[in-house]
């Protein structure tokens, strides 16, 4: 294994002090998330304070420390991630504005499914929608708003129905080429998105199939009111929105064909607009609007970019904190400590990676922030064992996506709960399912996390990086 480079920054208290920016951020993030205020602006403040604390601990001139902070922010990984987020956000908002979710709701209602079959269908449709738009949170809001009340009067158990929606959101968050977690996992592990998506499909399906079966078997038991269900679905369901599955399919095809994410998403936005405008699914003002009174520009394209502005600032700060940790030697020291504990076992190394990602996601409830924080550790440790970037990215993304919709304090669970709470005033038959009640039943999330743990232990899907960067089943010669 390669020797570690000498630290380029010195700190009071030694190498470990260079970890203060990231350690403070992690502690701050855990505190505000567990206290019930998981606000992105608050996370940004924590990252800023952490970097300032690191400056006071630095023995070198503060100008040099500040320069290294800027060097960290200039990392191409952060830039690529931010640009990809903007394009993915615009594409997702165009599909949502065009009524893709309404089309999928119509598709579910046309099947005339009831009880457990309705719950299973909701899981599948939520998975399709989240794979199309790349946002699990958006999927949770849309399906809780439309499918949850419909499912109740179609005989679905409320708890299982909510769990199916969260599971579908987790599926797409993990597998969508345009998902923020997919973009982060690929770029931080310095690899391509198409290859990452193709390589993780097997893990997602292995987790999804038993989840679907159990949702169908266990998801029923409620009272059925077909006439009221038809009336409710007629208010929102429309087959016209299914036309927007075409640009979704185009994006999947282009992404898996190896085209750059910006090229892929640009064609997706163009195709969605070209289909939506003539069919009346979209108006020009849906895409771009000018509010002269408020002096604001709005519309789906603006909203898509604006939705990622806070996260863009956050990733710059977290990447800077990771850079300081490397320049001060704490990253190498931590990796060396883990290496000595792992004792040369690749399986143990992957279990440690799984545990790191699991632990951070258990407490930092904005899954993208947790993933960005875990990424440098996964990269450094994985590289030491020559794990292929696809493999590293899969552990980073799958565990992050799974846990983001499980824990009661998680962002995905809370936003779904609040959405259903809002429905209680509209429908007398809707009662919100508590986050503390639903979390054990988010089957796809639990199964996906378990699949990745078993993959680490058994070596299922394990690939190494050959000298030319290609995938290989054979561990490279460490003496080479």
DSSP string covering 283-321, please? Answer: -HHHH-EEETTTTEEESHHHHHHHTTHHHHHHHHHHHHH
Q: What's the mean pLDDT in 253-268? A: 84
Q: Residue 233 in contact with residue 114, Cβ under 8 Å? A: no
DSSP at 16? G
Distance CA 323, CA 159 (A): 44
Among 116-125, 208-217, 323-332, 458-467, which is the least confidently predicted range? 323-332
What one-character-per-residue DSSP string does 243-254 give? GGHHHHHHHHHH
Query: What residues are paired with 289 via a beta bridge?
Result: 298
pLDDT band of residue 443 (cuts 50, 70, 90) is: very high
If you search the block for the tokens 């165009």, which residue do you land on?
94
Most confident of the following: 83-92, 93-102, 280-289: 280-289
Among 235-239, 385-389, 395-399, 403-407, which is the least confidently predicted range? 235-239
Asked whether the predicted pLDDT for residue 80 surpasses 90, the reply is: no
Closest by Cα among 327, 75, 320 to 187: 75
Asked whether the predicted pLDDT for residue 4 surpasses 70, the reply is: no
Q: Which tens digits make up the pLDDT trace of 193-223?
A: 888 988 999 999 999 999 999 999 999 877 7
Helix (H, G, I), strand (E, B) or coil at 189: coil
pLDDT of residue 388: 95
Distance CA 179, CA 132 (A): 9
Query: What residues are paired with 217 via a beta bridge?
Result: none
Across 263-300, b (16+ Cβ under 10 Å) vs e yields: ebbbbbbebbbebbeeeebbeeebbeeeeeeeeeebbb
pLDDT band of residue 365 (cuts 50, 70, 90) is: low
Distance CA 34, CA 59 (A): 34
Q: Residue 147 in contact with residue 139, Cβ under 8 Å? A: no
Q: Which two tokens stand for residue 62?
A: 């503060």
pLDDT of residue 472: 86
Q: What's the mean pLDDT in 421-439? A: 83
Asked whether the predicted pLDDT for residue 480 surpasses 50, the reply is: no
If you search the block for the tokens 């998680």, which residue do you land on?
410
Q: What's the mean pLDDT in 138-156? A: 84
Angle CA(159)–CA(162)–CA(167) in degrees, nearest 5? 120
pLDDT of residue 157: 92
Distance CA 12, CA 57 (A): 5
Asked whether the predicted pLDDT for residue 64 surpasses 50, the reply is: yes
Query: Residue 472: what are its φ and ψ, rounded to 5°?
Result: -145, 150
Average pLDDT, the chain: 85
Instruction: Report how far Cα 105 is from the mean position of its chain's Cα atoms.
Output: 23
Which helix (DSSP H) or strand (DSSP E) does residue 465 occupy? strand 464-465
Q: pTM here?
A: 0.79
HSE (CB half, 13 Å, CA atoms) of 12?
8
pLDDT band of residue 477 (cuts 50, 70, 90) is: low
Distance CA 157, CA 163 (A): 10
CB neighbours (10 Å) of residue 41? 9
pLDDT of residue 5: 59
Q: Which two tokens stand for residue 412?
A: 């995905």
Query: What residues are paired with 290 via a beta bridge?
Result: 297
pLDDT of residue 1: 44
What one-character-per-residue DSSP string does 48-112 give? HHHHHHHHHHB-S-HHHHHHHHHHHHT-HHHHHHHHHHHHHHHHHHHHHHTTHHHHHHHHHHHTT
Closest by Cα among 99, 252, 246, 259 to 179: 252
Give percent of the chain with pLDDT exceeding 70.
Answer: 95
């Amino acid at each position: 294994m390669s020797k570690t480079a000498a630290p380029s920054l010195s700190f009071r208290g030694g190498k470990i002090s260079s970890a203060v920016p990231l350690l403070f951020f992690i502690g701050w993030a855990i505190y505000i998330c567990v206290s019930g205020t998981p606000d992105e602006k608050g996370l940004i403040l924590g990252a800023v304070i952490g970097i300032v604390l690191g400056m006071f601990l630095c023995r070198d001139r503060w100008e040099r420390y500040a320069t290294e902070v800027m060097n960290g922010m200039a990392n191409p990984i952060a830039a690529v991630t931010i640009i990809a987020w903007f394009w993915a956000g615009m594409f997702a908002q165009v599909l949502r504005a065009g009524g893709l979710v309404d089309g999928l709701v119509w598709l579910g209602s046309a099947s005339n499914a009831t009880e457990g079959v309705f719950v299973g269908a909701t899981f599948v449709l939520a998975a399709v929608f989240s794979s199309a738009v790349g946002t699990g949170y958006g999927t949770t809001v849309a399906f809780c708003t439309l499918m949850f009340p419909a499912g109740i009067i179609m005989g679905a158990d409320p708890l299982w129905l909510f769990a199916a929606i969260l599971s579908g959101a987790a599926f797409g968050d993990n597998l969508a080429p345009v998902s923020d977690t997919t973009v982060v996992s690929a770029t931080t592990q310095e690899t391509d998105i198409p290859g990452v998506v193709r390589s993780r499909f097997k893990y997602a399906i292995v987790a999804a199939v038993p989840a679907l079966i159990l949702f169908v078997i266990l998801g029923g038991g409620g009272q059925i009111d077909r006439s009221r269900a038809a009336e409710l679905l007629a208010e929102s369901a429309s087959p016209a929105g299914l036309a927007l599955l075409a640009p979704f399919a185009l994006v999947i095809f282009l992404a898996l064909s190896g085209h750059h994410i910006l090229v892929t998403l640009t064609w997706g936005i163009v195709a969605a607009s070209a289909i939506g405008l003539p069919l009346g699914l979209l108006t020009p003002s849906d895409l771009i609007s000018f509010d002269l009174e408020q002096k604001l520009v709005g519309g789906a394209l603006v909203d898509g970019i604006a939705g990622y502005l806070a996260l863009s600032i956050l990733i710059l700060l977290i990447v800077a904190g990771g850079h300081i940790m490397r320049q001060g030697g704490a990253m190498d020291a931590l990796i060396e400590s883990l290496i000595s504990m792992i004792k040369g076992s690749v399986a143990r190394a992957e279990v440690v990676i799984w545990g790191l990602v699991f632990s951070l996601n258990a407490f930092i409830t904005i899954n993208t922030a947790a993933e960005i924080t875990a990424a440098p550790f996964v990269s450094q440790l994985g590289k030491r064992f020559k794990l292929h970037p696809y493999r590293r990215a899969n552990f980073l993304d799958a565990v992050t996506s799974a846990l983001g919709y499980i824990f009661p304090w998680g962002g995905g669970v809370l936003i779904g709960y609040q959405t259903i709470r809002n429905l209680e005033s509209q429908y007398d038959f809707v009662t919100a399912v508590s986050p503390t009640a639903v979390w054990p039943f988010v089957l796809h999330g639990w199964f996906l996390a378990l699949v990745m743990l078993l993959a680490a232990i058994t070596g299922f899907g394990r690939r190494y990086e050959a000298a030319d960067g290609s995938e290989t089943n054979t561990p490279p010669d460490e003496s080479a």
